[in-house]
Amino acid sequence: MNAGILGTGHFVPERILTNKDLEKMVDTSDEWIRTRTGIEERRIAPDEINTSDMAYEAAKNAMEEAKVNADEIDLILVATVTGDMGFPSVATQIQERLGAFKSAAMDLSAACAGFMYGMVTAKQFIESETYKNILIVGVEKLSKITNWEDRNTCVLFGDGAGAVVMGPVSDNRGVLSFELGADGRGIPHLYQTEEDLLYMNGREVFKFAVRQMGESALNVVEKIGLTKNDVDYLIPHQANIRIMEAAREKLEIPKEKMSKKIHKYGNTSAASIPIALSEDVKSGTIKDGNLVVLVGFGGGLTWGAVAFRWGK
């Protein structure tokens, strides 16, 4: 029994915050942000759109694409560090709105690597034939924990949601290998303060990410006995174009084989990979039989990568 992706979905709020807008808020420049991060603009959710609202929209979109009804969902996993509240979970909130009352539901906290952790968890339940259809959402409203006076971090983040429905697929399709990891010694580099604001030591996280993204991406390919040349498409966590480029260079693949959405959405944490995946599926960039590698890292520190062959 192979576990694969049956459908993808995403949602981003309408409001655009440009680098020029940020120039009016903190001591920064469009030029600095573009050259150091690759970000040109990001989406910011208004007060009335909360994390669960974005998660719901992305989930609905993925279920439509997968042609899976609410009563066919067995488990809902939501990767987020910015839920509407401490509890109940975003997963139970969207379960109620979707009417997916036959499903179990829980949130999962692994920061920007959360979606990878969600996919790997889903794979175990599907391959053991415990559950059939699993909805996985990566969603963040980072704007609510962003310190809008800290130029080191406020230029980086954005809001949004991405989702997939995973289920059984044919023998030569679906998730082929994965790697998950964590190193709690990295906690001081990236965490939420007592004032509920995001703190980050950018330089330390950068060094870690450049090394880890490349290594993990390569590991999942080698685990299935394939080589860099076999990779058709790479979707790295959209954190910083320079970090993404490091992963791409490690795999030695051309620029057009790497998903790049960072310029328009910034870093949306757990949502960045599933948003990119959904856009790339909808645009036809990812084709049946393609070997796709997803790789992410985040606060914890945490990381994860998944290699899958696209198609049912």
The catalytic residues are 112, 237, 267
- Secondary structure (DSSP) of the chain: -EEEEEEEEEE--S-EEEHHHHHTTSS--HHHHHHHH---EEE---TT--HHHHHHHHHHHHHHHHT--GGG--EEEEE-S--SSSSS-HHHHHHHHHT-TTSEEEEE--GGGHHHHHHHHHHHHHHTTS-S-EEEEEEEEGGGT--TT-HHHHTTB-EEEEEEEEEEE-TTSEEEEEEEEE-GGGGGGEEE-TTS-EEE-HHHHHHHHHHHHHHHHHHHHHHTT--GGG--EEEE--S-HHHHHHHHHHHT--GGGB---HHHH-B-GGGHHHHHHHHHHHTT-S-TT-EEEEEEEETTTEEEEEEEE---
What does R_g of the chain's alpha carbons equal in angstroms? 18
152 binds ligand ACO per the rule CB under 6 A = yes
Stretch that binds ligand ACO, among 88-96, 147-155, 273-281, 286-294 (CB under 6 A): 147-155
Is residue 28 at the binding interface for ligand ACO, with CB under 6 A as the rule? yes
**CB-based burial of residue 129 (10 Å sphere; 0-12 exposed, 13-18 middle, 19+ buried)?**
exposed
Does residue 202 belong to the site contacting ligand ACO (CB under 6 A)? Answer: yes
Query: Can residue 151 be called a binding residue for ligand ACO (CB under 6 A)?
Result: yes
Q: Does 147 bind ligand ACO (CB under 6 A)?
A: no
Q: Identify the residue among 3, 299, 305, 306 touching ligand ACO (CB under 6 A).
A: 299
Q: How far is the CB of 267 from ligand ACO (least distance, A)?
A: 6
Please say which residue, 6 or 45, places its beta carbon nearer to ligand ACO. Answer: 45
Instruction: Indicate the residue among 2 and 272 with the shorter CB distance to ligand ACO.
Output: 272
Residue 51 within binding range of ligand ACO, rule CB under 6 A:
no
Q: Is 206 in the site for ligand ACO (CB under 6 A)?
A: yes
Q: Examine residue 271 and tell whether it contacts ligand ACO (CB under 6 A).
A: no
Phi, psi (degrees; rounded to nearest 5) at 123: -55, -40
Q: How many residues bind ligand ACO (CB under 6 A)?
A: 24
* Residue 236 contacts ligand ACO per CB under 6 A: no
Q: Single out the residue of 163, 164, 205, 241 in contact with ligand ACO (rule: CB under 6 A).
A: 205
DSSP string, 246-281: HHHHHHT--GGGB---HHHH-B-GGGHHHHHHHHHH
- The answer to whether 32 contacts ligand ACO (rule: CB under 6 A) is yes
Q: How far is the CB of 156 from ligand ACO (least distance, A)?
A: 6
* Interaction pattern, residues 96-135, with ligand ACO; x per rule: CB under 6 A: ---------------xx-----------------------
Q: Which of 15, 67, 102, 203 binds ligand ACO (CB under 6 A)?
A: 203
Among the listed residues 240, 259, 268, 278, the single contact to ligand ACO using CB under 6 A: 240
Q: Is residue 168 within the footprint of ligand ACO (CB under 6 A)?
A: no
- Residues that bind ligand ACO in the complex, under the rule CB under 6 A: 28, 32-33, 36-37, 111-112, 151-152, 155, 190, 200, 202-203, 205-206, 209, 239-240, 243, 267, 269, 298-299
